[in-house]
Structure formats: C-alpha cells, structure tokens
A = this chain, B = another copy of it.
Amino acid sequence: MVRIVDVAKKANVSTATVSRVITNSGNVKKETIEKVMEAIQKLNYQPNILARQLRRLETKTILVIVPDITNTFFSNILRGIESVANKNGYQVLLADAHNNVERESNFLDILYQKKADGMILLTARIDQNVIGEISKEYPVVLACEYFEGSQIPTVSIDNISSARKATDHLIGLGHKRIGFISGPLGGVLGRDRLKGFQQAMAQQNLAVPPFLVQEGDFSYESGYNLMLKILTLDLPPTAVFAANDEMAIGAIKAIKSKGLRVPEDLSVIGFDDIKIASIFEPALTTIAQPTFEIGLKAMELLIKLINKDSITKNQYMLEDKLVIRDSSKELS
C-alpha cells in the first residue's frame, strides 16, 4: 500500500503539502502541484479514506432506510436522493428493512457508530420517541412518512388531501358504496389516507360501514386477500380505493378471480403510480407522487442539517396528481 509519505518523499515535499494538493485547499505553488501530481501518478496513489474520515470525523456517507426495496415506488425516490448526494460528494448506504421493524431499528447502529453523517427515513415504524431523540443528536430527515407534532424535517405529499381527491374521483363517477383497503393503521401514512377517504365520504353524506374498511399492509398479497373478503359481503361495494398500487393490483386480481370485471363491475383506484400501474390491465387509476422530487428535497434538507445551515421550514408538502386510467369508470 502506498501512503501519503511515499508520495511526499518521491515529490520531495512534506505530507502536509501533498495533503493540500489532493484536497486542493489552496496555497500551493503551481510547480509544486505538478511535482506532487506526477508522484501520485507514478505511484498510483489513492488516499485512504478511512484515515481522512477519522481525522475529519465525517464519513461523507448517508444512510437511507427503505421499508421494502422490492416495492418500485421507492426506487425513484432513491434516484432523487442519489442525484443530490453524488453532486455533493456523498455516498448512499442503502438499508432494506424487509418490512420488519426490528431490522429497521438495528440500522440505527450505523448512525451511532458514526458510519454515516446522517439518515433519511422512508419509513416511520420505529418508535417516534426513539427517532425524536436521535434527531436531536444526528441529522435525520423523514420522507413520505412523518410523525405528528414532530420537529423533524419532513418531505411528503399531503396524504389526507390526496386520499380525499382519489375518493372524490370515485364519488364523482357516481359511486356511493365504496370500499377502502388501508395501509397499516399503526403508521400515520396508513391513517392519513384513511382519514382522507373518510372525510370525502362524510362531506357527501355517504356511509362508511366498518366492514368496507379493511386494514392491509401495503403488500400485493394483503390486497388480494382483503378484496376476496370484501367480495363475500351481501352487498359488495361498486368501487374500491386501495391505499397503494400493489394492493390495488392484488384487489383487481381478486376481483377477476371471482369472474367479475374491472371497471365494468367494480372500479378500483390505487395510490403511488408505480411503473406497473400503467402496464397492468386494466391500467390503474391512481395518485402519482412526485417521487424523484421527494428524494431530491429530502437530500437537500439533510445536507443542510449536516452543514448546520438554518432551515426555513421543516414540513415540505409536494404536489401529487390524480392519474385517471382504465380501472375506474362511471357507475352504470
């Protein structure tokens, strides 16, 4: 292994000067720079980042905890994060929680052990107080999810109003008996979307019988199974709102498995607008989130936190969009 001293010797300067050259921190004569660069070339020297990190007490790495990497919804957020990260010399350490709270918590050690300078959470299943404590000591940004009454910087859409928008779409099509397949009600995200649904229904004085609301876990399988359950009702709904696309697709598959058609017999609307939403048949009506921008903004905020820059506000709400495709249709 070739070290900075080797370069220094070869170039006949001190290690300090070499260091100044590789970090281009100014105040080095042009010729000296050339000498040093030549030595670096010849020796094929690469600075040892560990040593630098130890000295500077920073890692230039940030941690992103994803609830489930197989859900393509998150991929695009990641790309947004990465794009800002790389532009600023940060590397992204990706942690996949496999939808498992315990795994999620374990990743926090990475932060404690100073292996990362900050963290973006794309999930909020860890205890709010724990995260609250951590965020006092380390830079933390929440994306998509959020905690009620928390001061942690957050980037998301307005889930309540989006869910209202989706529900209004169905109501506008003449549906009155609408089912809802929710996300886990343990999280705000799941609760908010349910809240939006309920608000929209209430506004039009439409009833929401409890058995028309089923709690899922955002997985394809839960969408499938819960829809089957809903279909066993004497008076099944004419439309269903699933709190994410994966469950919506599961629901449609369940509907089809019973010989019914979407949207002719039942309208279905999803949430997220993941890639298959437009490929699947019928193409899914859904709420599109500005995923890339969410990632972008989250990383920008995190960098500000790391640099201890002041942050003007800590709740960023981005615009979503209703995308009407083939899975929803006027009640006939």
Binding site for B on A (CB under 8 A): 46-51, 53-54, 57, 59, 69-70, 72, 75-76, 78-79, 82, 91-94, 96, 98, 109-110, 112-115, 220, 249, 253, 256, 275-276, 279-281
Contact = CB atoms under 8 A, between A and B. Distances in A.
A48 B91 contact: no
B110 A91 contact: yes
A72 B75 CA distance: 10
A36 to B, nearest CB: 18
6 contacts: A49-B114, A51-B54, A70-B275, A93-B93, A94-B94, A280-B280
Given A75-B69, A91-B115, A50 B59 contact: yes
A220 B50 CA distance: 41
Contacts of A76: 70
A57 B50 CA distance: 8
Nearest to A92: B94
Contacts of A279: 220, 249, 253, 280
B72 A78 contact: no
A98 B76 CA distance: 11
Nearest to A49: B113
A75 B220 CA distance: 16
A179 to B, nearest CB: 21
Most interface-central of A47, A53, A94, A110 (chain B CB within 10 A): A94
Contacts of A70: 72, 75-76, 275
Contact of A50 (B112, B114, B249, B253): B114
Nearest to A107: B91
Contacts of A69: 69, 75, 78
Smallest CB-CB A-B distances: 8 pairs: A94-B94, A49-B113, A70-B75, A50-B54, A46-B112, A54-B54, A50-B53, A69-B75
A249 B59 CA distance: 42
Contacts of A115: 49-50, 91
Given A49-B113, A69-B75, A280-B280, 6 more contacts: A50-B59, A70-B76, A91-B110, A93-B94, A276-B276, A279-B280
Contacts of A49: 113-115
Contacts of A281: 256, 281
Contacts of A50: 50, 53-54, 57, 59, 114-115
A254 to B, nearest CB: 11
A6 to B, nearest CB: 16
